[in-house]
Amino acid sequence: MHALPVEAYTSQEWFDLEMKHVFSKTWQFAGLVEDVANPGDYISVQAGLNNIFIIKGRDNRLRAFHNMCRHRGTQLLRAVGKAKKAITCPYHDWTYDLEGKLVSIPKKEEEFPDLCNKELHDCGLNLHEASVDIFKGMLFVHPEKNAPSLMEYFKGVEPHLGPHIPEELVEYQEGYYEKEIKANWKIVVENNIDHYHLAHLHEGTLNMYDHDKAQFGWVGPHYWFYEPLVEDYRKDLKNASLTPVIDHVPEDKIGAYVPWFFPNIGLAESEGTWSTFHVTPLAPDRTLVSFRTKVMNSSEWEFTKQAAKSSMSKIWTKYGAKGKYEGDPNTDPMASGDFMEEDVYACEQQQKSLQSPMFSIGAQAQRGEYAMEKFQSVVKEWIEKYKD
């Protein structure tokens, strides 16, 4: 049974409620710890109605601030970069130190004679603070200065995650994926937590996992999912894996761990990769997705050797990526042999039907699609919790 009306996927009113009451009230994924490795390094992220940046100070502490000058509100920093000694507004050159304190106003005595007779950092015009914390090598921000604990937010989740240690892995630049999808963000999330579609939409692309042995459930607002490898792939894994197998994952724990952290960040933890899947709502019918992948810290030669072994493995004759439809793999997502392109296609086709007066949910799989109803209920509860 659907917990949300169709309008939740199509209307600007619903979208605005979600931006205000869900994305502006929850911990939001911002990046990986290595993104801000050195003093002055910063990254920014849109957290609902708020643009927030994380910066590493000269004291090596991470701090988060709302990305707006206290003068006229101009955004201070671009998406990612390095501030040398200070943060200067591009509009009127109001300047803040890396700790967010106002340190300089051009022509202060002449233009703002009545502003404040104290030191600038005591004038109540320092940057608005937000919260930042780390979980499993990931950076999260919260728009509130005194936000609820991130560890409390994720309480009970960790036992259901893979044994992967992302801090010991390195980012695989060729594994970066970003795409704007013409679908509501919830359709993208629901696709990600839909177990029922794996053996059907992805029959030729994710068939190396045993979907019949999948385990999944909920911890608070967060979803967890695990399924093992099929037996013949598991037995030949060291030859068949596309990338070097992550060596700190015990053999009996290898499989696909695909949790979803409410509201919009998922993980894909597998035999050879650890990935984040970040969903950013842009409009009622547009969503930006980005996929960052980490792998073993191995030499390029090791990756080349593994790719060669994998290409010669007989396993891929059986489990190699095959499109669901015949066609040009370069232009037809359903012929691409790429499970991400298959998902994008399915999400966009579903969104197209939502405006039709004939649209309704025909039935819902009792086990394979139960997670969607729970997710929808959490969205609804979060909105009602904060709605005026």
User: Quick one: pLDDT band at residue 268, thresholds 50, 70, 90?
Assistant: very high
Residues 88 and 226 placed together within one structural domain of the fold = no
Phi, psi of 186, rounded to the nearest 5 degrees: -70, -30
Residues 184 and 332 placed together within one structural domain of the fold = yes
Task: With 0.85 as the threshold, say if the pTM is over it.
Answer: yes
User: Quick one: pLDDT band at residue 1, thresholds 50, 70, 90?
Assistant: low
**CATH code assigned at 381:** 3.90.380.10
Residues 326 and 187 placed together within one structural domain of the fold = yes
Instruction: Please check whether residue 280 lies inside any domain of the structure.
Output: yes
Residues 89 and 162 placed together within one structural domain of the fold = no
- In this prediction, residues 59-65 reach a mean pLDDT of 97
Task: Give per-residue pLDDT as tens, 10-43.
Answer: 999 999 999 999 999 999 999 999 999 999 999 9
> How many angstroms separate the CA atoms of 195 and 215, rounded?
10
Residues 345 and 221 placed together within one structural domain of the fold = yes
- Where is the domain boundary, 118, 146, 174? 146
Instruction: Please check whether residue 9 lies inside any domain of the structure.
Output: no
Task: Give per-residue pLDDT as tens, 126-147.
Answer: 999 999 999 999 999 999 999 9
Residues 307 and 250 placed together within one structural domain of the fold = yes
> How many angstroms separate the CA atoms of 265 and 345, rounded?
20
- In this prediction, residues 168-181 reach a mean pLDDT of 93
User: Quick one: pLDDT band at residue 296, thresholds 50, 70, 90?
Assistant: very high
Q: 279 and 189 in contact (C-beta within 8 Å)? A: yes
> Which residues does 318 contact at the CB level (< 8 Å), separation at least 6?
232
* Contacts by 325-331, CB closer than 8 A, 24 or more apart: none
Residue 257 belongs to what domain range?
A: 157-386
Residues 136 and 167 placed together within one structural domain of the fold = no
Residues 95 and 238 placed together within one structural domain of the fold = no
- In this prediction, residues 247-258 reach a mean pLDDT of 96
How many domains, in total, are found in the chain? 2
- In this prediction, residues 317-325 reach a mean pLDDT of 75
Neighbouring CB atoms inside 10 A of 213's CB total: 12
Residues 131 and 195 placed together within one structural domain of the fold = no
Identity at 73, one-letter amino acid code = G
**CATH code assigned at 115:** 2.102.10.10
- Where is the domain boundary, 146, 177, 200? 146
Residues 251 and 374 placed together within one structural domain of the fold = yes
Residues 136 and 276 placed together within one structural domain of the fold = no
Task: Give per-residue pLDDT as tens, 195-246.
Answer: 999 988 888 888 889 999 999 999 999 999 999 999 999 999 998 898 999 9
Instruction: Please check whether residue 5 lies inside any domain of the structure.
Output: no
Residues 98 and 176 placed together within one structural domain of the fold = no
- Where is the domain boundary, 83, 111, 146? 146
Instruction: Please check whether residue 64 lies inside any domain of the structure.
Output: yes
> pLDDT value at position 263?
98
Tokens found for residue 369: 């699609």
